Amino acid sequence: MAAVPVPGEPALHLPDERALVVADLHYGVEAELLRGGVWVPNRARQRTERLLALVSQVGAERLLLLGDVKHQVPHSSHQQKRDLQRMFAALQAAVQVEVVPGNHDGGLRELAPGSVHFHPVKGVVVGNIGLHHGHAWPAPDVMACVQVVMGHNHPVIAFRDRVEKLHTAACWLRVPLVAGERYDDVGDELVIMPAFGELAGRTMNREPLRGTGPLLRNGYADLETARVESLDGLDFGELRYLMDLRLER
């Protein structure tokens, strides 16, 4: 079984498991921006509607939220609590909801209904796919899967067009895995998911890259040779050939 990107969406479909996987929803980010003096419309309802539409589209019976379901840490604003409660209420009526916690998810278990299943931070194996958020070391059985999936990095690719306008586009990264002292047995490929939250994005083709998580920081995945794919399935080639594409004027 292979994890299949849903065309045009930052989501993976695991057909044999009837599962849909998304990462980095960041409910509550709008409230955090407002605390810093930046107002953007709250898109929590639309985000939940997108999730429900994707669940229906692929016929999923399981929805795996691969970390950073919430945004604000360590506190939770009234808006974040309300948005999460409404999201969980809507989703659990349609699908079994499961969470692999991320670095923003402290206190999420207390905000979620009892029907939501929480996996360990070190990840979970679903079929032959290893799933974890990416901020912590994954478990050995997760790393041993043929395909390992993580979020955390919110990858986007940036470039300028012929009139010098800067564009960014969410993308998938397919990164070769490398064995080492910590993991003797590793799979073939690490898939880094684009963020499902609309306001999350990190330019991957600009040096230096920081905060990428322990696997990438410690050389267990070869980020330079990662293949970059758009949400529509266009292959842009290896990341090392896309660095600093006229990003500075």
Tell me, what's the pLDDT at 228? 96
**pLDDT tens readout for residues 159-209:** 887 888 888 899 999 999 999 999 989 999 999 999 999 988 889 988 777
Is residue 245 within 8 Å of residue 208, measured between CB atoms? no
Distance between CA 203 and CA 153 in Å, rounded? 9
Q: Where are the domains of the chain?
A: 4-241
The neighbour count for residue 78, using CB atoms within 10 Å, is: 9
The dihedral region occupied by 180, where left means phi > 0, alpha psi between -120 and 50, and beta the remainder, is beta
Tokens matching residue 216? 């990438």
Give 85-110 pLDDT, tens digit per residue. Answer: 999 999 999 999 999 999 999 999 99
What percentage of residues in the chain have a pLDDT greater than 70?
A: 97
- What is the DSSP code (8-state) at residue 239? G
Mark residue 106 as left, alpha or beta (left: phi above 0; alpha: psi -120 to 50; beta: remaining): beta
* Overall fold of domain 4-241: Purple Acid Phosphatase; chain A, domain 2 (3.60.21)
Mean pLDDT of the chain: 92
Q: What is the pLDDT of residues 218-248, one digit of tens each?
A: 999 999 999 999 999 999 999 999 887 665 5
Span 62-69, average pLDDT: 97
Q: Which residues of 80-115 are buried (b: 16+ CB within 10 A; e: fewer)?
A: bbbbbeebbeebbeebbbbbbbbbbbebbeebbeee
Inter-CA distances, 76 with 68, 70, 91, 92, 199, Å: 13, 9, 21, 21, 18
Contact, 48 vs 40, CB < 8 A?
A: no
pLDDT digits (tens, 9 = 90+) for 168-181: 899 999 999 999 99
Outline where the chain has alpha helix (H).
29-35, 44-58, 78-92, 108-111, 140-143, 214-217
pLDDT of amino acid 245: 65
